[in-house]
Amino acid sequence: MHKDLLRLARGERAVRRHLALCLTAAVGAGLLVLVQAELLAGVLSGRFTTSALLLLALVAGVRGVLALVQGVAAGRTTTAVKSVLRHRLLSRLRDLGPARLASQRSGELVTLAGRGLDALDPYLNGYLPAVAVAGVVPVAVLVRLSAADLASAVIVLVTLPLIPIFGALVGMHTKAVTERQWRALSRLGGHFLDVVRGLPTLRAFGRAGFQAGVIRRVADEHRSATMRTLRVAFLSSLVLELAASLSLALVAVPIGLRLLGGTLDLTTGLLVLLLAPEAYLPLRNMGNRFHAAMEGVAAADEAFAVLDGEKASDGAVSEAGPDGTAAARGGGAPGAGPDGAAPGTAARARAESPEIRLENVTVRYPGREEAALEDVSLVIAPGERVALVGESGAGKSTLLHLLLGFVTPESGRVLVGGAELPGASWRPAFVPQRPHLFAVSVADNIRLGSPGATPEEVEAAARAAHADGFVAELPEGYDTVLGERGANLSAGQRQRVALARAFCLPAADALLLDEPTARLDGRSEAAIVAATRELSEGRTAVIVAHRPAMIDLADRVIRIAGGRVVSDSAMMIGEAR
Amino acid sequence: MNRTGGRLVLAMAAGAAAELAGLALIGSAAWLITRAAEQPPLAALSMAIVGVRAFATSKGVFRYGERLAGHDVALRAQAATREDLYRALIPAGPHGRRGADLLSRMVDDTDAVQDLLVRGLLPGAAALVTGLAAVALGLLLLPPAALVLLAGLLAAGVLLPAGVTAATRRRAARIAPARAELAARVADLLHGAADLAAYGAGERALAASAEADARLAALERGQARVNAVAACLGVLAQVLTVTAVVLVAQAGEAGPVATAVLALTSLVAFEPVLPMAAAAERMAGVFAALRRLKEIRTTPPAVAEPVRPAAVPGGPLTVEVEDLVVRHAAGRSPALNGVTLTLAPGRRVAVVGPSGAGKSTLLAALMRLVEPEAGAIRLRAGSDGTGNHGAGDDGAGDDGAEAVVDLRELPSDEVRRVMTGLTQDPYVFQASLRDNLRLAGPEAGEEDLAEAVRRARLEGWVERTGWDTPLGEDGRTVSGGQLQRLALARALLNDPPVLLLDEPAEALDEETADALMTDLLDATRGRTTLLVTHRLRGLEEVDEIVVLENGSVVQRGTHGELVNAPGYYRDLWRSEALVARR
């Protein structure tokens, strides 16, 4: 068994119990086949009376019940394992923090944690029981056979190992080729998906029809390559079949001849005939389920790689991020707190903005040579509005992520209100560059940070963010559920929903904005600038800005280049103001 | 498809032959042993001995043949399905853009055909043939026993799968949404990680996904119970049928040889039949996938292709848009509501306006991706735009009429050969930069590529990345700005008679955007160009600016005229000018 899965199964009581029940039922049913053969041989040879058929029916009943138990227990095992694994995976990914998640292929992770784990089904409910049966039943058959007829038992004993040996030989010979072929198959699927996704672009340049031919050609080439491999790979199943059926012939013919000579009785003869295939069947079942099971193992490997892999290589990204800072903040959510005040009035209720102080901070992302931020020191006074400017990749977003606790410095300290991050409990409101809209209602999207907010508070926040107009036009207003990644809102509208989130967090003591007006047209930009001006009133604000209108809003402009502060308007007060 | 059909029959025959060989093997072995116990002369057994050996050998060979032929057929069928699906998707669909998740599910659906063949049709055919053969053998030996066997096989091979199908269908209707719900929660958790962490909402989102997981798990356990019941009933049917066959045979005085042959062939006949119940469960999903594929194939395209296509008139082309009305769905307010504009050869027209004003819809209509509800778009040969010239040209009206063609009379591919360029949401293929560019100009030489790259200000990136480095999945190694410039390079390389540019400076930072616009306006000088933009810098250079709001033209004129008239354009220009002074 997969060793990590085994550890998981051992650790979870429910999983352990269901799995044990499933395997026991499978082995029990396998052993009952021996009893069935015994009874059938007895009845057919005339040794047992017809009334033994009653026992046979009883065996059928018990086997049926065991099959039922096995199936139900298998269902419970697989769902329990998948739930546990999925939960651990998602918790782990959350703990990685958004900064490191961004560097992973999030699409693949979504698939892995979603449909990907379904690949475990055939492994857990098919392959594992087959392995358990294969470990017990052939031995039991051999024992019974040797008691009945040693000569037949020897034939089975000698031919039985041929199955795994030949299987392994052919497998070894074709393993690399087969694996390459399966990878090619998934690449083929990838190519097809790629072409389908890019269809609008192909259409624009009149290349859509041409690609249809490419799709066919690629598929044809792939098919002939695959068939070449399969001709060899399927030899293993040929060997499995041949070993099993030829052994039956090897056993049956001598038995027939010995019966003819009178040296063997019919009951034994029939028993051997009925039992011999049962020695091979479990091994064949196991072999047939091997491939599907290996896909499950691959999924498990991937999942455990995410779970275990990155604990060692901890770089700039905070492990404790959400656990420490965000979780602490979650506990003190304004909805849960005493102040359920509306955003407008809440400005007075919120705590004093803290001072933000960076002391010689260096941030380096794992696997990167150059630092994302290098030896940055600055002090942002309470209530100051700071614009961070600079080319993309200069380190502006890293600075924001540092203040949010998404990344931890390699050296240096970040102090908020005198307490060091991560750990300091402060509540900045954050509007990312590309805010994610969740597949829930608009209202729930707005009250993300304050789940207890009343509908009035949500609407007030939307009004303040200039979002009330388009929300009112949605089919169900604030109750409209947003579609696939919130795709049914324009970029400007999404940005305003994200700003409303910030407005719906009246107790926030600072505002962190990452290029809120990138990719917006003039009118949307004007609305966002106006909303940001109101939101940052009397509050510390750090705004990553590209567009002049946004920079205008700030009291202080800090330019960052190559991870360093290269100019700071606060340092040039004499000249500039 | 005929060759595939032939191979399918071959695969089915091989599969059936393998199962029949298995049946014959056990039957002849049972006969051999029970007959031998009666101690006849050796010669009486020789046929059976040969039979046992022959059936034993041929079973494996047939199985090998079935697996090879079956996989070959399945791969062919899948390739054909994918090609069909792709061809069905080529005409622009009515739903507009499809989400990435929906697309990948569609691609997964094409695997259904493979499943249908390998897990449904082939084993089904083998089970049918084997069952019939066993019943036929029974009829020869003892008809009443054959009837018992037939009843048992029907129960296991027809009733049971039907029951599983019925139970699965009800449940599948609930499993699919539960699965989608879980996928959405997981996607929210990962794609929205930053938002969740910043707002301390991670714990709640995790709980929501756990809830969705629990709901799905409950449904899956229910499905497992259905399958377990089916497995239980299958075993019961098999063993009870064999028991009944023995009972009937002994009551019918069939003799020990016939009884043993009947009992053992009955037992083995169930082996290909029992998996049918599990296959039925799988087929429910397969049929749903096939239905979805069929729906796509039968969806009418967004625009109708002309029955008798006209040709694009030769020479420099004028594009005339007249009172164009486009509505994306019946009942919704029109995206374009009576837009008129003229794009004469060599002239550049800019379309500006707030998001949602209909700018992209106008481009889609020009590229013949949406069908107008009213009004027309025409291509006219020569520089004779409507109204620009006096009555003197009316004398040549007959000639002129021949040189005018409505877009609806042209094949849509032909329209896009004339009018195309940088479109919304450009895509980066998993291919080299060279191939990604070359799709817009298959005949382009190295120098043309280099020129397009230079004009799109992409050469720095090309130097760093190299021409032949594959670009990552979903263009992940490509930033937004690079993507935009790649798309621009494609448009310049394609060099259509009428160049359309949809927000070329989008996703670029201020300085790069300014530089790009400057280059762009240089590069398009003298080219017929329609530029959609929300930035006004540089628009002094274009010949006409059209301001769209709510699907209608609210202002038009040159930059000089528009900045002196009150309205959207002047407001926006003032705010840009204000900040530009800094």
Same domain, B30 and B139: yes
Same domain, B123 and B264: yes
Pairwise CB contact (< 8 Å): B197 & A322? yes
Same domain, A369 and A516: yes
Domain boundary among B270, B298, B326: B298
| In chain B, residues 419-478 whose CB comes closer than 8 Å to chain A | 420-421, 423, 425-430, 439-440, 442, 473-474, 476
State the pLDDT at residue A66.
97
Residue A184 pLDDT more than 90?
A: no
Token pair 């599990």 is found at B278
Same domain, A137 and A164: no
Q: Is residue A216 part of a domain?
A: yes
Least confident of A294-303, A565-574, B66-75, B365-374: A565-574
- What's the DSSP call for residue B120? I
- Helix B42-89 × helix A208-233 angle, to 10°: 160
Parent domain of A258:
150-263
State the pLDDT at residue B2.
65
B251 to chain A: closest CA residue: A50
Distance, in Å, from the CA atom of A40 to the CA atom of A275, rounded to the nearest integer, reads 11
Same domain, B161 and B82: yes
A247 to chain B: closest CA residue: B56
C-alpha count within 13 angstroms, C-beta hemisphere, residue A324: 17
Same domain, A561 and A530: yes
State the pLDDT at residue A7.
85
State the pLDDT at residue A518.
66
Q: Is residue B306 part of a domain?
A: no
Distance, in Å, from the CA atom of B500 to the CA atom of B505, rounded to the nearest integer, reads 13
DSSP output for B511-569: HHHHHHHHHHHHHTTTSEEEEE-S--TTGGGSSEEEEEETTEEEEEE-HHHHHTSSSHH
Residue A338 pLDDT more than 50?
A: no
Same domain, B390 and B532: yes
Q: Give contacts of B200 with chain A, Cβ < 8 Å.
A: 326-331, 333, 449
Same domain, A256 and A340: no
Domain boundary among B298, B327, B354: B298
Torsion angles phi and psi, residue B352, rounded to 5: -120, 165
All residues at 6 or more sequence positions from B190 whose CB lies less than 8 Å from its CB, including other chains: A93, A101, A106, A109, A110, A113
Same domain, B22 and B60: yes
Torsion angles phi and psi, residue A332, rounded to 5: -100, 30
- The CB density around residue B578, as the number of other CB atoms within 10 Å, is 12
B368: domain CATH number is 3.40.50.300
Q: Which of A92-101, A532-541, B556-565 has the highest mean pLDDT?
A: B556-565
DSSP output for A158-201: HHTTHHHHHHHHHHHHHHHHHHHHHHHHHHHHHHHHHHHHTHHH
Same domain, B489 and B550: yes
Same domain, B501 and B571: yes
A572: domain CATH number is 3.40.50.300
Q: Is residue A276 part of a domain?
A: no
Residue A349 pLDDT more than 50?
A: no
State the pLDDT at residue A472.
86
State the pLDDT at residue B48.
92
As a whole number, mean pLDDT of residues A292-297 equals 81
If one counts the domains in chain B, the total is 2
Question: Among candidates B267, B277, B272, which has minimal Cα distance to B244?
Answer: B267
User: Which has more confidence, A457 or B507?
Assistant: A457
State the pLDDT at residue A490.
72
- The CB density around residue B238, as the number of other CB atoms within 10 Å, is 25
CA dihedral B69, B72, B73, B76 (to 10 degrees): -170
| Residue B544, min C-alpha distance to chain A (Å) | 19
Q: Which amino acid is at B193?
A: A
Least confident of A172-181, A297-306, A508-517, B282-291: A172-181
Angstrom CA distances, A391 to A495, A566, B259, stand at 21, 12, 88
Token pair 């699927």 is found at A189
Angstrom CA distances, A263 to A254, A255, A257, B120, B487, stand at 11, 9, 9, 47, 87
Q: Is residue A286 part of a domain?
A: no
Q: Is residue B310 part of a domain?
A: no
| In chain A, residues 421-440 whose CB comes closer than 8 Å to chain B | 428-430, 432, 435-439
State the pLDDT at residue A95.
80
State the pLDDT at residue B269.
96
Same domain, B208 and B238: yes
Distance, in Å, from the CA atom of B321 to the CA atom of B498, rounded to the nearest integer, reads 14
* Residue pairs between chains A and B whose CB atoms are closer than 8 Å: 459
Residue A311 pLDDT more than 60?
A: no
Query: Using 50, 70 and 90 to split pLDDT, how confident is the model at A574?
Result: very low
Same domain, A395 and A479: yes
Choose the closest CB to B429 out of A74, A194, A328: A194
State the pLDDT at residue A159.
86
Same domain, B268 and B355: no
Q: Is residue B536 part of a domain?
A: yes
Question: Among candidates B72, B84, B60, which has minimal Cα distance to B8?
Answer: B72
User: Which has more confidence, B429 or A172?
Assistant: B429
Q: Is residue B124 part of a domain?
A: yes
Same domain, B458 and B551: yes
Contact of A249 with B53, CB cutoff 8 Å: yes
Same domain, A444 and A360: yes
Q: Which of A245, A247, A503 to mutate to test the interface with B (most CBs of B within 10 A)?
A: A245
Torsion angles phi and psi, residue A470, rounded to 5: -75, -25
Distance, in Å, from the CA atom of B509 to the CA atom of A519, rounded to the nearest integer, reads 10
Same domain, A157 and A140: no
Same domain, A302 and A339: no
Q: Does residue A523 belong to the interface with chain B, where contact is any CB pair within 8 Å?
A: yes
All residues at 6 or more sequence positions from A154 whose CB lies less than 8 Å from its CB, including other chains: none
3-class secondary structure, A514: strand
Same domain, A125 and A161: no
Distance, in Å, from the CA atom of B93 to the CA atom of A34, rounded to the nearest integer, reads 61
Average pLDDT, chain A: 81
Choose the closest CB to B79 out of A205, A223, A237: A223
Same domain, A406 and A427: yes
Q: Is residue A400 part of a domain?
A: yes
Question: Among candidates A498, A107, A104, A441, which has minimal Cα distance to B187?
Answer: A107
Q: Is residue B504 part of a domain?
A: yes
How would you write the pLDDT of chain B (582 residues) with one tens digit per residue? 567 788 899 999 999 999 999 999 999 999 999 999 998 998 889 999 999 999 999 998 999 999 899 989 998 988 888 898 899 888 876 654 455 667 777 777 888 888 899 889 999 999 999 999 999 999 999 999 999 999 999 999 999 999 999 998 888 888 888 888 898 888 888 888 888 888 888 888 999 999 999 999 999 999 999 999 999 999 999 999 999 999 999 998 889 999 999 999 999 999 999 999 999 988 988 988 898 888 888 888 888 889 999 988 888 899 999 999 998 877 778 889 999 999 999 999 999 987 778 888 899 999 998 899 999 999 998 644 444 444 444 444 444 445 899 999 999 999 999 999 988 778 888 888 898 999 998 888 899 999 999 888 888 888 877 888 777 654 445 676 778 888 989 999 999 999 999 888 776 666 777 777 888 888 888 889 999 987 788 888 899 999 998 889 999 999 999 989 888 888 778 766 655 544
Q: Give contacts of B220 with chain A, Cβ < 8 Å.
A: 75, 78-79
Q: Does residue A330 belong to the interface with chain B, where contact is any CB pair within 8 Å?
A: yes
- The CB density around residue A522, as the number of other CB atoms within 10 Å, is 23
Same domain, B338 and B253: no
Q: Give contacts of A234 with chain B, Cβ < 8 Å.
A: 64, 67-68
Choose the closest CB to A196 out of B26, B89, B197: B89
Token pair 């034939």 is found at A155
Choose the closest CB to B582 out of A59, A451, A548: A548
Q: Give contacts of B205 with chain A, Cβ < 8 Å.
A: 438
Q: Is residue B286 part of a domain?
A: yes
3-class secondary structure, B131: helix
Q: Is residue A277 part of a domain?
A: no
Same domain, B363 and B506: yes
Residue A329 pLDDT more than 60?
A: no
Domain boundary among A242, A263, A284: A263
Rounded to 5, what percent of chain A is helix, strand, coil? 65, 10, 25
Choose the closest CB to A200 out of B68, B259, B425: B425
Distance, in Å, from the CA atom of B494 to the CA atom of B489, rounded to the nearest integer, reads 8
Parent domain of B167:
2-298
Q: Is residue A416 part of a domain?
A: yes
Choose the closest CB to B416 out of A64, A204, A549: A204
Pairwise CB contact (< 8 Å): A196 & B78? no
Q: Give contacts of A193 with chain B, Cβ < 8 Å.
A: 103-104, 107
Query: Using 50, 70 and 90 to split pLDDT, how confident is the model at A485?
Result: very low
Distance, in Å, from the CA atom of A563 to the CA atom of A364, rounded to the nearest integer, reads 10
Q: Does residue A232 belong to the interface with chain B, where contact is any CB pair within 8 Å?
A: no
B194: domain CATH number is 1.20.1560.10
Report residue B403 as tokens. 């040189």
Choose the closest CB to A449 out of B199, B231, B490: B199
Strands A356-363 and B498-502, how do they pair?
Answer: unpaired
pLDDT in tens, A6-29: 888 888 888 999 999 999 999 999
Q: Is residue B304 part of a domain?
A: no
3-state secondary structure A40-99: HHHHHHCCCCCCHHHHHHHHHHHHHHHHHHHHHHHHHHHHHHHHHHHHHHHHHHHHHHHH
Beta strands in B184-302 (DSSP E): none
Same domain, A397 and A480: yes
Q: Give contacts of A430 with chain B, Cβ < 8 Å.
A: 194-195, 198-199
Report residue A413 as tokens. 């300290």
Query: Using 50, 70 and 90 to split pLDDT, how confident is the model at A503?
Result: confident
In this prediction the ipTM stands at: 0.82
Query: Using 50, 70 and 90 to split pLDDT, how confident is the model at A86?
Result: very high
Contact of A81 with A15, CB cutoff 8 Å: yes
Q: Residues B116-138, buried b or exposed e (16+ Cβ, 10 A)?
A: bbbbbbbbbbbbbbbbebbbebb
| Residue A500, min C-alpha distance to chain B (Å) | 13
Q: Is residue B23 part of a domain?
A: yes
- The CB density around residue B9, as the number of other CB atoms within 10 Å, is 13
B36 to chain A: closest CA residue: A260
If one counts the domains in chain A, the total is 3
3-class secondary structure, B18: helix
Token pair 């940088």 is found at B422
Pairwise CB contact (< 8 Å): B228 & A74? yes
Same domain, A119 and A167: no
State the pLDDT at residue B473.
55
Report residue B329 as tokens. 């769905």
All residues at 6 or more sequence positions from A472 whose CB lies less than 8 Å from its CB, including other chains: none
Query: Using 50, 70 and 90 to split pLDDT, how confident is the model at A173?
Result: confident
